[in-house]
Amino acid sequence: MLQKKEKYVVAVVGATGAVGNEMIGTLEQRNFPVEKLRLFASEKSEGKKLEFRGEKIAVESLDANSFRGIDIALFSAGGERSKIWAPVAAAAGCVVIDNSSQWRMDPSVPLVVPEVNPKDLDWHKGIIANPNCSTIQMVVALKPVHDAARIKRVVVTTFQAVSGTGKKAIDELMQQTTELLNFRQAKCNVYPHQIAFNVLPHIDKFEPNGYTKEEMKMVNETVKIMGDESIRVTATTARVPVFRGHSESVNIETEKKITAAEVREILAAAPGVTVFDAPDKNIYPLAIQCDGRDEVFVGRIREDESIPNGINMWIVSDNLRKGAALNAVQIAEVLIGK
């Protein structure tokens, strides 16, 4: 368990990646009380220097003794690394906040979005899971509506940015776009098809039920975070040629009637949410506007006229901030009582 201190020794595992890089920036921007920052990545990055608060810090590779003396470790180095190293870190007395999907559905591991279920942090045993990026932004907007009108069913379609796949995918979109605009052939390494100028209805592996793992993450994680097994969720997730910011079309059916105006009012007062909803002025959430921002943006709020108690909305957030690094740092802030 985390001992209260004035400043903490913090580690970022996967520091050279898309999320890790954002974690370092988020710790600095939010003035997290860091006594010392340790950075870890694969052996190929050993010795590489990354900047934190104007200081250059050398990246280390992991070994059995790496976590000695570390209070909090933010993991973003993929599921395989989390599977091996998160228990090692926890055994060394370090609290792990893990961004991979490795521990999310483990019943002994809390899956936390601080605006939704901060109380679940009370029962952690050394590992805390950070949810999937598309799930985080959705539940931040759904929880206040659920509290007001009880959500029975959610139908979500996502339009997810390539940064959700990591730094290699960011490079692939850049390279393919450049090649195609120069009338050259685009090479596909990260995705099975060209992502530039295209939409792929495929994120993560396909499951035997025909859904992708990403879709099933949205289904299962939503129920666990909201703490309500009666909520039915169905998802279609698509990758779009956007660098940063996931967009979602979300349809909800509620037990109690709630109007679009009431949803707008509830969400305007909700923590972590900004309502951008003035269609007469062409104001609605856009991926390019959320880049580098902390909030979950909600707009296009309207009643679903095909059912008695339904609402449609459009939810956008920066997948590397609230969808990953920021949520992890916010969890750490709750743990230290900041």
Catalytic center residues: 133, 246
Alpha carbon separation from 128 to 66, 87, 309, 328 (Å, rounded): 19, 11, 35, 9
**Beta partners for residue 47, in sequence order:** none
Q: Which of 36, 150, 153, 167 binds ligand NAP (CB under 6 A)?
A: 167
β 55-60/34-40 pair status: parallel
Given the complex with ligand NAP, which of 78 and 93 has the nearer CB atom?
78
β 151-160/246-254 pair status: antiparallel
Given the complex with ligand NAP, which of 19 and 95 has the nearer CB atom?
19
- Which among 55, 73, 54 has a CA at the least distance from the CA of 10? 73
**Is residue 56 within a helix (H) or strand (E), and if so which, with residue range?**
strand 55-60
Q: Which of 11, 129, 133, 140 binds ligand NAP (CB under 6 A)?
A: 133
Given the complex with ligand NAP, which of 272 and 310 has the nearer CB atom?
272
Residue that the structure tokens 């045993």 belong to: 125
Residue that the structure tokens 């809390």 belong to: 110
Question: Looking only at residues 222 through 261 of this chain, which bind ligand NAP when binding is defined by CB under 6 A?
Answer: none
Interatomic CA distance for residues 58 and 37, integer angstroms: 10
Tokens of 235: 């998802």
The DSSP output letter for 177 is H
Given the complex with ligand NAP, which of 242 and 266 has the nearer CB atom?
242
Tokens of 208: 């035997």
Q: How far is the CB of 291 from ligand NAP (least distance, A)?
A: 13
Q: How far is the CB of 147 from ligand NAP (least distance, A)?
A: 26
Helices of type H across the chain: 18-29, 79-91, 133-149, 167-181, 213-226, 260-268, 287-290, 326-336
Site string for ligand NAP, 92-121 (x = CB under 6 A): -------xx---------------------
Q: How far is the CB of 6 from ligand NAP (least distance, A)?
A: 29
Q: How far is the CB of 116 from ligand NAP (least distance, A)?
A: 16
Tokens of 263: 């949803």
Q: How far is the CB of 150 from ligand NAP (least distance, A)?
A: 28
Total of chain residues touching ligand NAP, rule CB under 6 A: 30
With binding defined as CB under 6 A, does residue 164 bind ligand NAP?
Answer: yes
Q: Which of 323, 326, 332, 335 binds ligand NAP (CB under 6 A)?
A: 323
What residue type is 207 in one-letter code?
E
Question: Looking only at residues 191 through 210 of this chain, which bind ligand NAP when binding is defined by CB under 6 A?
Answer: none
Q: How far is the CB of 16 from ligand NAP (least distance, A)?
A: 4
Taken as a whole, the chain contains a residue count of 338
Interatomic CA distance for residues 310 and 152, integer angstroms: 10
User: Between vectors from CA 104 to CA 80 and to CA 10, what angle results, nearest 5°?
Assistant: 70
Q: Which stretch binds ligand NAP (CB under 6 A): 11-19, 27-35, 189-197, 304-312?
A: 11-19
Q: Which of 90, 324, 329, 336 binds ligand NAP (CB under 6 A)?
A: 324
Q: Nearest-CB residue to ligand NAP? A: 17
With binding defined as CB under 6 A, does residue 216 bind ligand NAP?
Answer: no
With binding defined as CB under 6 A, does residue 319 bind ligand NAP?
Answer: yes
Question: Looking only at residues 17 through 76 of this chain, which bind ligand NAP when binding is defined by CB under 6 A?
Answer: 17-20, 40-42, 44-45, 62, 76
Half-sphere exposure of 185 (CA within 13 A, CB side): 3
Residues contributing to the site for ligand NAP (CB under 6 A) = 14-20, 40-42, 44-45, 62, 76-79, 81, 99-100, 133, 163-164, 166-168, 319-320, 323-324
